[in-house]
Structure 1
Amino acid sequence: MTNCLERGMVHVKKKYLSLLFLVAFLTMLGFGIIIPILPYFAEDVGASSLQIGILFASYNIMQLLFAPIWGMLSDRIGRKPLIAFGLFGFSVTFILFGLAESYAEMLAYRIIGGIVSAAAMPTVTAMVADLFPPDERAKGMGVIGAGVGLSFVFGPVLGGLLSGWGFGVPFFVSGGVALLTFLIILFALPESLPREKRTGSSRVKRGNPLTALFGPLSLLYGIMFIVSFAFAGLETTFALYINDLYGYSSKDLGYMFLVMGIISAFVQGGLIGKMVKSLGEPLVLAIGLILYGIGFFAIPLAANFWALTLTLSLFGAGQGMIRATGTAMITQRTTQGQGVTSGTISSIDSLGRILGPLAGGAVYEWYQSGPFLLGGILMVVMLILFRARYHRLPEPSAQA
């Protein structure tokens, strides 16, 4: 009887995880589709380079501000309503953006889109934390990360093809994909947070994101921020670097990031569970930081296409390890609701994506290899801090 129940639970978890993988892939596919198109579309309505930068930054700023708010709400009313709300808002705002005829319209839709879509992906992460016990959570987070990674492999390629029919078309397709995902959520995805575990229950206390950031898990949140910050700086300057030094085009860059994305998805979807089982999450996280550090320091030494591609592959592997294990370790130890915790992780990531490009661009003007050397130094510092202070982290909670 017990074996039948266990097999039944495994089947339910696999069904949940397959659906959540699909949700993560389709949701982030919409983001990936518009990445190479948005600057050209904005330029077409007369936007300057500064205004284009504001379009990108405004979205991330709204995600930074609102992800914890939606996370707290998902702890109170459940995960499914927030994921559905975020996807529907994503769909509407992207379609409206595709119809925009002025920069002011574009900015308004990006701001609104950042606010509403911040409800979706952090809540998917919280749902994984609801479903998987601490010792299996990194595997679940890895599968979701693989969905995200694959979406950024195929999304930009699809966006480039769709733009041949007009700059608005990729946004219409992104909105349509989000609407399809919304329907999948409504009819196929069950709720993962029982009523008795919601913060509306007198037995469950509410969380405060600021308390989490400066509490006993500050080391792990700091690592997640620095990794996002350093990689965002690389994304901003790497295209300039390979063009200035070697004359490589955006097409070459696309192939490099394609390889990186495939490796990241493979590590997160196929290897993380096995690595964590044999090595433990702290060691896998440390290996990820080492690979990131080597990647940063190796960029100035790489002098041809394949060497640069191999270097980016280190980031793909390291990113899979850091994001899956870091998220799992935080959710295992949090004393707050999984919704507010996942929202806080998302905000930290958004803050890194806001500040990283600013710092990377500024350092690049001073010294071309500067952003990569800075990233490598930051990884070394994070690795030292992690190894020195890991023993001070709270023990994982069976209830988290």
Structure 2
Amino acid sequence: MQPSGRPGGRSFDLATFLLAVVSMVLFVDALVYGMIAPVVPSYAHVMGASDLEIGLIFSAYPIVQLLTLMPVGALSDRYGRKPFILLGLVTLVISTVAFAISVNVPQLILTRGLQGLAASCTMTAGLALISEGAPPDKMGGTLGIATASQGAGIMAGPLFGGSLAEVGGYNFPFLVAAALTLAILSLTVIALRGYRPQCPGRVECGRTDWGEVLRERTVFAIVLIVVIWAIGIGILEPAYPLHMSENFGATASMIGAFFTAMSIPNVLSPPFFGRLSDRIGRKMLVVVAALLFAVLFSILSMMDSFTLLLLVGTLLGLTSGMLWAPSLSLTIESISRRVGKGSDGIATGIYNSAWAIGLAGGPFIFGLLVDPIAHTHLPGLLRHRGRGRDSVHMADHGEPGLSASDAWSGPRRCAESMDHGCAVLKDL
């Protein structure tokens, strides 16, 4: 696709349409990811699932993603974005319907894993498609819109799943999500008819020189920052509800308000910061955002009022939004300079893998840092990671051994590590 940038031109309209459609694809991916939290644990318990099996249902999605993100990215560089976006959407429709009608735990695990594979295809190829179609001076703003759509899907997922389950039962939200995905698939087929890749044969531009990629120091620095940033989020979600409960007597609604205060600016701000990075440069914006995140992250435990907590939570969400689009754009540009055009797939695969590794590793690190009680709490933390209402369950029921100071030692150390990643990037 070669958008001309002429406001009235056909290619400009195609680029805008593709951005809108890919944003919808990313939204529905994230929606499906988040919607199982309020409905699946109780349904799986009715099936007789153990806590470990419920953990496996939740873990199947990110595990498959981690295994497939970079291979899918490299393959999309070689064979094009279109087949992987369509494959991902078809797989998402089938797996979501299958998830809705599953009658035992192995079926739930298998179909959830297929949803993770679908997300790898659509996320990696979709982001690569819109990044390679965007003019260099507009890439940040374009990717900001796409990442905002992902954030909106994650934020809406639990509410979507829980509300529809109350109306129509367990199966209903998944069937509605499958129908929504099918509608988006139809739009995607229409949008991709006019898509022409920048490298038509995708032979020369589709070869991934891993040695060259690994020698790119800017990419190394960004991956380090993204992994630590995601670890911080992964630690924050189980640790902070416990901290709030012990120090403020926080209710589930107060904890929900804190995480909502983080989520809203994280969803709304990426387009703005993406456009800002197009104008003033990406590297310094990434460094400033990462340092601000580290500072805010480390002072959370010092807040002595709920109002201040909400303020810091809002600023944390804002700095996360400040990181998304500029750091992703910088990764794509750096790899493209090193290995040539057509490498956007592997760039988005590396970036998303770094985020997934950090997010999955956060709860493990949290458990290790609060040892010796890690073995008691870690399975529940992993199962409920990212679900504010469920994460506070342990604190509400007075589970022994975990103090707020223990829980908060992890975030402090994570913030210190973020500073190192920023120092590496500033030196480049």
Shorter-chain TM-score above 0.5:
yes
Larger deviation: 187-196 or 377-386?
187-196
Q: TM-score, length-normalised on structure 1?
A: 0.87
What SS class does the counterpart of residue 120 from structure 1 fall into?
helix
Give the corresponding residue for 2:253: 251
The Cα of 1:156 is off from its aligned counterpart by 1.7
What SS class does the counterpart of residue 407 from structure 2 fall into?
coil
Q: Tell me if structure 1 keeps the 8 A contact 2:300–2:309.
A: yes
Cα 1:315–1:50 shift into 2, 3 Å: farther
Give the corresponding residue for 1:394: none
Cα 1:168–1:238 shift into 2, 3 Å: farther
Give the corresponding residue for 1:398: none
What SS class does the counterpart of residue 121 from structure 2 fall into?
coil
Give the corresponding residue for 1:344: 350
Cα 1:255–1:160 shift into 2, 3 Å: farther
Distance 2:308 2:248 in 1: 12
Give the 5 Å matches for 1:11-90: 11-90=13-92
Q: Tell me if structure 1 keeps the 8 A contact 2:21–2:184.
A: no
Distance 1:267 1:381 in 2: 25
Give the corresponding residue for 2:281: 280
Q: Tell me if structure 1 keeps the 8 A contact 2:151–2:266.
A: yes
What is the number of equivalent residue pairs in this alignment?
384
Give the corresponding residue for 2:416: 377
* One-letter amino acid of the counterpart of residue 181, structure 2: A
The Cα of 1:207 is off from its aligned counterpart by 1.0
Give the 5 Å matches for 1:323-362: 323-334=324-335, 335=339, 337-362=343-368
Q: Tell me if structure 2 keeps the 8 A contact 1:33–1:156.
A: yes
Give the corresponding residue for 1:229: 231
* One-letter amino acid of the counterpart of residue 89, structure 1: T
Unaligned runs of 5+ in 2: 373-405
| CA offset digits 1:214-259 (Å, max 9, x no partner) | 6432222222222122212212333333234333343333333223
Q: Tell me if structure 2 keeps the 8 A contact 1:41–1:168.
A: no
The Cα of 1:327 is off from its aligned counterpart by 0.8
Distance 1:348 1:377 in 2: 18
Distance 1:94 1:149 in 2: 20
1:294 aligns with 2:300: no
* One-letter amino acid of the counterpart of residue 207, structure 2: R
Distance 1:231 1:174 in 2: 27
The Cα of 1:188 is off from its aligned counterpart by 2.9
**RMSD of Structure 2 on Structure 1 (CA):** 2.5
The Cα of 1:373 is off from its aligned counterpart by 1.0
What SS class does the counterpart of residue 369 from structure 1 fall into?
helix
Distance 1:142 1:163 in 2: 32
The Cα of 1:193 is off from its aligned counterpart by 5.0
Give the corresponding residue for 1:315: 316
Cα 1:4–1:298 shift into 2, 3 Å: closer
* One-letter amino acid of the counterpart of residue 311, structure 1: V
The Cα of 1:49 is off from its aligned counterpart by 2.8
The Cα of 1:176 is off from its aligned counterpart by 2.4
The Cα of 1:103 is off from its aligned counterpart by 1.6
Unaligned runs of 5+ in 1: 391-400
The Cα of 1:86 is off from its aligned counterpart by 0.7
Give the corresponding residue for 1:194: 197
Cα 1:47–1:302 shift into 2, 3 Å: farther
Cα 1:67–1:211 shift into 2, 3 Å: farther
Cα 1:272–1:53 shift into 2, 3 Å: same
The Cα of 1:325 is off from its aligned counterpart by 0.8
The Cα of 1:16 is off from its aligned counterpart by 2.6
The Cα of 1:198 is off from its aligned counterpart by 4.3
Q: TM-score, length-normalised on structure 2?
A: 0.82
Identity over aligned residues, as a percent? 23
Q: Tell me if structure 1 keeps the 8 A contact 2:226–2:354.
A: yes
Give the corresponding residue for 1:124: 126
Q: Tell me if structure 1 keeps the 8 A contact 2:76–2:345.
A: yes
Q: Tell me if structure 1 keeps the 8 A contact 2:273–2:321.
A: no
Larger deviation: 32-41 or 368-377?
32-41
Distance 2:7 2:267 in 1: 29
The Cα of 1:213 is off from its aligned counterpart by 4.4
Larger deviation: 238-247 or 218-227?
238-247
Distance 1:130 1:180 in 2: 25
Cα 1:363–1:178 shift into 2, 3 Å: farther
